[in-house]
Structures are given as C-alpha cells and as structure tokens.
Chains A and B, each alone.
Chain A
Amino acid sequence: MENAVLMDEVCLTIPMDHDMELVAAKTGSVLAELNHFNEEQIEEIQYAIIETCINAFEHSQSEDRKVYIIYIRRADELECKITDNGVGFTPEDQHNSISQRQGIHSDMRKRGWGLEITKTLMDEFDIESGENGTTVSFIKKVTS
C-alpha cells in the first residue's frame, strides 16, 4: 500500500561545511514545489531542514563530517529523514545545552531552538538517537 502512494525518493549527502544546509533546503524546496505545497509550507520545510542540518553540524561530533538526507515524496506529503553518524544525544544533553545558553531574559534564550522549531513547523516529528548517530525524521502534509 505504501508503494502505491510513493512518488519519489531522493538521497543527498552533504558535508558539514558552511552553508551546505542551503543545498539540503533547496532540494527539499524543489520536491515540495513538485508536490504543490504552498509558498509558506515550502518555507517551513526549508526551515526544518536547515535547523536539523545545523544541529547535526554543531552537535553530532561525527567523524565522517557528513549528513545523509532522504526525501520521500508521497502524493500528499513530504518526509525528510536526516541522519548523522555522530555520538547521539539524550533529552538530558539537550536540556543541559539549552540551560547554558540563556540570555538576559530567561524566556528569550539564544540557542537550542533547532529541534523545537522543526517540531512546531512540521506535522509529524521523530528522533532516533544512539551511540552510532541520530536520525531526525519529519513529515509535512500538503494542505490547501
């Protein structure tokens, strides 16, 4: 049944270099356009991809310094699976990282927003993380 709605699967590997997240975002944007997402939804997809890639760049400590992205285009949605081969993280790691980045106003913290932004902008969101790396998956559904 899943195969019936699968339209395309695109794989992309980017190095963890400056602005490479834009390559991933642009690819996502083209696929989203093909799926007739509206302009705002395409922007949301780009933001989710950018934030997830940056998180991997900054925190994964992966030795291969690469991020692997699979875009799965279905009739009514776009799924992105973004993987690094880094050290993984726990919710506690994330909490500690956020706590260290408070600014003058505690509710306007400077960093540690990436996953929260992605989660808010996407319809479905999941993280699998372990000692061999992290995969963040999210789905945006086409809505008129």
Chain B
Amino acid sequence: MLNKFDIQIRAEQEYAVLETAGYLNDSLGEQLSKKAQELIEKGYTQLVINLDKTALINSIGISILIEIIEALDERNGTLNFCGLSATQERTFRMMAIAKYAGIFPDEKTAIANF
C-alpha cells in the first residue's frame, strides 16, 4: 500500500505515451506535469496518459491532469487517456474531462484516435 510511483515515457515521432504507476496524488501529478511539459516544449502535441497501473487517483491529481489538457489546448494539441478503471472513467466524465480529452480502453486505441 506504500505509495511507490513511477512514470515511464515512450516517445515516438508523432506522439508520446506517459505511463504512470502508483497513487496519482499531488506528488505524482507534479512529476507527470513536469514530464508532459518537457514533451510539449519539445514539440509533442499528441500525448497519451496510460493509467493502467494507477489504481487510485485523487482530485488533486486530476486537477493536475486538467492543467496538462489546458497546456495542450493552447497548442491545439490532444490528450488521450487509457487504462482507466470504471470508477476513474466515471469521475473523469463527471468532471467534464471527457469533453476536452479522449478516453480509450487501451494504449493502442488511444494512439489510433489522434
């Protein structure tokens, strides 16, 4: 239950995938935001955040995800999420995130839908 977290990045030519592991709270959220900003500054405007290994997210973590959506919005970019649990997806839809970012079951589908 200890919160060990990690972020893996897979950057391809057209897009990049950020895969999180652990509890997505303010700490992991800030690290994720930093890595997403670095990718955006390198010119990536199509990002996938894979939450398959993130069992729990709190609303502070989600607020940081919204900041990443907004940063991509400013560059006409797109953020697609994948690997969400049913509760996470329900929460994201409640918070209107699904209006401004894609939600897909897996990484392959998330990439195919840019």
Contact with A along B34-72 (1 / 0, CB 8 A): 000000000000000000000110111011001101100
Q: Are B87 and A40 in contact (CB under 8 A)?
A: yes
| Interface range, B side | 20 to 34
A contact face: mostly helix, strand, loop, or mixed: helix
Closest residue of chain B to A41 (Cβ to Cβ) is: B87
Which chain A residues lie closer than 8 Å to B69 at the CB level? Answer: 108
Which chain A residues lie closer than 8 Å to B99 at the CB level? Answer: 105, 107-108
Q: Are B25 and A46 in contact (CB under 8 A)?
A: no
Number of interface residues of A (CB under 8 A): 30
- From 6 to 53 in chain B, residues with beta carbon under 8 angstroms from any chain A beta carbon are 23, 25, 27
Instruction: Give chain B nearest CB distance to A100 CB in angstroms.
Output: 13
Chain B: residues with CB nearer than 8 A to chain A?
Answer: 1, 3, 23, 25, 27, 55-56, 58-60, 62-63, 66-67, 69-70, 73, 85-87, 90-91, 94-97, 99-100
